[in-house]
Amino acid sequence: MAEKQSTSQPPQTPQNPPQTEDTPEVGEEEVEKKEQEELPPFEIVEGSRIPASSFKFQFKNVEYSSGRNKTLLCYTVERAGGQVYSGYLEDEHAFSHAEEAFFTTVLPQFLSAGPVTVTCYVSSSPCVSCAASIAKCLKRSKALQLRLVLARIFQWEEPEIRGALRGLRSAGCALRMMRSTDFAHLWKNFVEPDAPVDGEEGVVEGEGGQVGGEFGVFIPWEDLEENSRYYEEKLAEILR
């Protein structure tokens, strides 16, 4: 499928005016309210590639996801006739989530044309609200087969999160954790390398040194396999 351009421009975060003696101080609550009113709910990007540095940070399957305050969702939609569509969505701020955007805005256009098989690779598992929305979509759409492949589990210690994941499984969603082959698949099909190193075209810098190729080669981080097994154990415990 030919690549499509972004359907919208990234929202610009409003800048606060410089404080002077003549400028009244604006309270934090008023600033938050103003930003919430001005920012659109999400940005949808289809057919584009994720910057390599963003992918390596947001999809890294660490136990504690400090600083990773957005969700990236890569999807493939397969129709019965063999047509395959793909793209990715990204949270631009904290007031809505990529999962909700996909299941309410992107997926419905495919469901009207018969059975579809959807695979979503998500940097973090859905929150309670998004999990409930996905479960409702599955119950409404009998022609939908869904698999969520997760890099991390969001707040897995919380009973509400654990219950939400069990609810997804009960609604018919297949859940599993990402493995090294999944990260490599995303790197090949969804990632745009960062700027070339030392002016060498087609060469990108990976963790552990330079790597070559049109889009580079995925270099696993040190604890990828260990962290993947850790999360697999946690998911199995939750779904037991």
What residues does each domain of the chain span?
40-194+203-239
Pick from 34-43, 66-75, 119-128: least confident: 34-43
Element (H, E) at 209: strand 209-211
236 compared with 69, residue with greater pLDDT: 236
Task: Output the pLDDT for position 33.
Answer: 45
> At 77, is the pLDDT very low, low, confident or very high (cuts 50, 70, 90)?
very high
Task: Output the pLDDT for position 138.
Answer: 93
Task: Output the pLDDT for position 109.
Answer: 85
Catalytic residue among 90, 92, 99, 205: 99
Assess whether 99 carries a catalytic annotation: yes
Task: Output the pLDDT for position 32.
Answer: 43
User: Which CATH architecture describes the domain 40-194+203-239?
Assistant: 3-Layer(aba) Sandwich (3.40)
Task: Output the pLDDT for position 40.
Answer: 47
Q: Based on the number of CB atoms within 10 Å of its own CB, is 13 exposed (0-12), middle (13-18) or buried (19 or more)?
A: exposed
> At 92, is the pLDDT very low, low, confident or very high (cuts 50, 70, 90)?
low
φ/ψ region of 93 (left if φ > 0, alpha if ψ in -120 to 50, else beta) reads beta
Summarised one tens digit per residue, pLDDT across range 155-202 is 888 999 999 999 999 999 999 999 999 999 999 999 987 655 444 444
- Would you call 168 helix, strand, or coil by DSSP? helix
Task: Output the pLDDT for position 184.
Answer: 95
Phi (first) and psi of residue 134, to 5 degrees: -65, -40
Task: Output the pLDDT for position 121.
Answer: 97
Instruction: Name the average pLDDT for the chain.
Output: 75
Task: Output the pLDDT for position 45.
Answer: 52
Q: Which of 72, 101, 122 is nearest to 231 (CA)?
A: 122
29 compared with 114, residue with greater pLDDT: 114
| C-alpha to C-alpha distances, 152 to 12, 48, 180, 192, 219, nearest whole angstrom | 28, 23, 13, 22, 19
- Would you call 45 helix, strand, or coil by DSSP? strand
Contact 114, 80 (CB under 8 A): yes
pTM for the predicted model, two decimal places: 0.72
Q: Which of 78, 14, 86, 17 is nearest to 45 (CA)?
A: 86
Task: Output the pLDDT for position 53.
Answer: 87
Summarised one tens digit per residue, pLDDT across range 19-63 is 433 434 444 445 344 444 444 444 545 556 888 988 998 899 987
Task: Output the pLDDT for position 90.
Answer: 81
Task: Output the pLDDT for position 30.
Answer: 52
| C-alpha to C-alpha distances, 74 to 87, 98, 139, 208, nearest whole angstrom | 6, 10, 22, 26
